[in-house]
A and B are shown apart, each in its own frame.
Chain A
């Protein structure tokens, strides 16, 4: 976008930095969010099918070289599900247990991980572009670029990014990366792959939205008529189906427009072509030229 390029160019002029390299400018489009493919991928996660076996947690940790016990321990350690958990740097996805649906005995489960927004607030917030939206779907993180400001944690409406606070030297922001190593090569995410219940379907996001609504139409008694992630903050790659309000599953109520739209509008409104600062500069210069000296003003206060 021209506005962005202009801003960079003038910012460069101001800081006296060479501006030849405006690479990476293409990667983000102002106000409209990052570039995304129409056939970008997504995951439909039907919470009503989940049995809370935590196989996905195991597969995830294994796929990301994170500490994990034996596979059998995960389904055996039922006690873990008794307390509410959030993702941590060692668990990019977690399952939480909720009370059974009306007329059912089995408890209800929900899965938590990065939703991979279409217009991600974290990507918009990131000061150095360490977080990026891949056109194919994943929101990826480059630890090498990251300065560790944690603005992504402050900004994320789903409170997803976690941080390695205990690492004194090379702490990372850690979150689900939609198994980008697999999915960008044509594979499917580890959690989707291992799930014995087929709770999750991996595919083209547009297809998954159709599928989700079909399920709701066919089984209206089974679902609330809401595909969480279809419109939330401008749409997310992960889509959830449930039998109850998503707020009851601790998923936040968020606006349909990405908050990044507002802040990008402010940033680009003020700094479009660096017009704002240049106007202030011109204004101050004019005042400086025209303002007369008024040495008497000091006395005024005393004479009042």
Chain B
């Protein structure tokens, strides 16, 4: 395991703790006083920051889980294994918080289980598809994570004192899991890819239902395809982004031999994504809205320029791709671009029939969103400390 010990608490971690605590305070207020008290949502803007950022961006940025699994396990590109586990952890934590954010946003959160009741299934609803797939995929992610747990603790279960009597039982369970998981993991890896493709795209179908309310720069029937393609690209970008961040924070060496080739795949994915955007734009003639000088037109341009063209160029340049700073900048821009796209589709581009001005989140909404992001980062760190075998540095050598 790690030779050099990094302390869990650093200044940054303490700041994150404060932000997380503020978020928890906000959450308490939301559940005690209701959505009206802590949000700027109304009968025009039914969805705000939590759906736009926490849910839509959360799902997109957690795409690294299935994209890296596809490359490493399905394509058998074995040397990419070292990014699979960190990406899996991000996906697991990301989706857990997506589910939690939905719970927070729901007016009748205690009814969330209704989505699982066959008699209430509503196959016409894209949201139903998203809901059922996210629930299933979350389960798959937990199963995919189990080998990390068995690997970490098998043969090391040593509870002290009173609990010691459980050691044998836990050990047996871990060994059983380890044996069983080995046999069924292929199924779950493929199921994870399928479920991801299904709900990443259905998330894009959500706003297709409002052709008169979503700005024409984004409203298209191929929005689900665009959401899926951008999820592929941002999945890999997130894997690079978080790997560099984690390496710096945990003082591990950068894995450039894995990250550079990963970055090389991104321009291809971005080109396909951009291609659908341009072909769609020309087909629908929506380019006329580019010069209308509205917030929406600028936001579209920022999304394409900052999030697709510039990072695409960075990743295409062989020289830049090998430099950690450029690799980091490129991946950060792809992440920014996809975040901007989701915000555009769900918030900036959404114009309700009688909306009087843009929706701007209330400050408690912001505090809660930032708090939840802080919690994800803290949990990521906590997991890496408990399970050093997540990172390549702490992992036993893969067969």
> Chain A: residues with CB nearer than 8 A to chain B?
4, 7-8, 11-12, 14-15, 17-24, 28, 30, 86-88, 121, 123-129, 145-155, 157-159, 161-171, 250, 252-255, 259-260, 262-264, 266-268, 270-271, 276-277, 280-281, 284-285, 287-288, 291-295, 297-298, 300-302, 304
Q: A151-B206, A162-B43, A300-B261 are in contact. Are A21 and B118 (CB under 8 A)?
A: yes
- A30 contacts which of B39, B108, B124, B202 (Cβ < 8 Å)? B124
What A residues does B303 contact at CB under 8 A? none
CA distance A4 to B129 in the complex (A): 12
CA distance A193 to B279 in the complex (A): 54
Among residues of A, the one whose C-beta sits closest to the C-beta of B102 is A149
| B322 in contact with A266 (CB, 8 Å) | no
| B210 in contact with A291 (CB, 8 Å) | no
Among residues of A, the one whose C-beta sits closest to the C-beta of B261 is A301
Q: A155-B209, A163-B107 are in contact. Are A284 and B190 (CB under 8 A)?
A: yes
B29-37, B157-165, B268-276, B284-292 - interface stretch: B29-37
Among residues of A, the one whose C-beta sits closest to the C-beta of B113 is A147
Among residues of B, the one whose C-beta sits closest to the C-beta of A29 is B124
- B124 contacts which of A150, A267, A294 (Cβ < 8 Å)? A267
B376 to chain A, nearest CB (A): 22
| B194 in contact with A280 (CB, 8 Å) | yes
B253 to chain A, nearest CB (A): 15
- B46 contacts which of A163, A166, A298 (Cβ < 8 Å)? A163
What A residues does B42 contact at CB under 8 A? 163, 165
CA distance A153 to B154 in the complex (A): 51
Query: What 7 A-B pairs are tightest by C-beta distance, nearest first?
Result: A148-B107, A153-B46, A168-B34, A165-B36, A150-B46, A159-B353, A166-B36
- A170 contacts which of B108, B131, B201 (Cβ < 8 Å)? B108
> Chain B: residues with CB nearer than 8 A to chain A?
31-37, 39, 41-44, 46-47, 70, 73-79, 102, 105-109, 111-112, 114-129, 131-132, 135-136, 186, 190-191, 193-195, 197-198, 201-202, 205-213, 221, 224, 257-258, 260-261, 264, 318, 321-322, 350, 352-354
| B125 in contact with A288 (CB, 8 Å) | no
What B residues does A129 contact at CB under 8 A? 120-122
| B34 in contact with A167 (CB, 8 Å) | yes
A81 to chain B, nearest CB (A): 17
| B118 in contact with A8 (CB, 8 Å) | yes
Among residues of B, the one whose C-beta sits closest to the C-beta of A300 is B261
What A residues does B35 contact at CB under 8 A? 165, 168, 171
| A255 in contact with B122 (CB, 8 Å) | no
| B115 in contact with A128 (CB, 8 Å) | yes
- B32 contacts which of A168, A267, A281 (Cβ < 8 Å)? A168
| B194 in contact with A281 (CB, 8 Å) | yes
Q: A21-B118, A294-B76 are in contact. Are A125 and B127 (CB under 8 A)?
A: yes
| B122 in contact with A128 (CB, 8 Å) | yes
CA distance A11 to B105 in the complex (A): 25
- B108 contacts which of A24, A166, A171, A263 (Cβ < 8 Å)? A171
| A260 in contact with B124 (CB, 8 Å) | yes
What A residues does B318 contact at CB under 8 A? 301, 304
What B residues does A23 contact at CB under 8 A? 118-119
Q: A124-B125, A263-B126 are in contact. Are A157 and B107 (CB under 8 A)?
A: no
What A residues does B197 contact at CB under 8 A? 277, 280
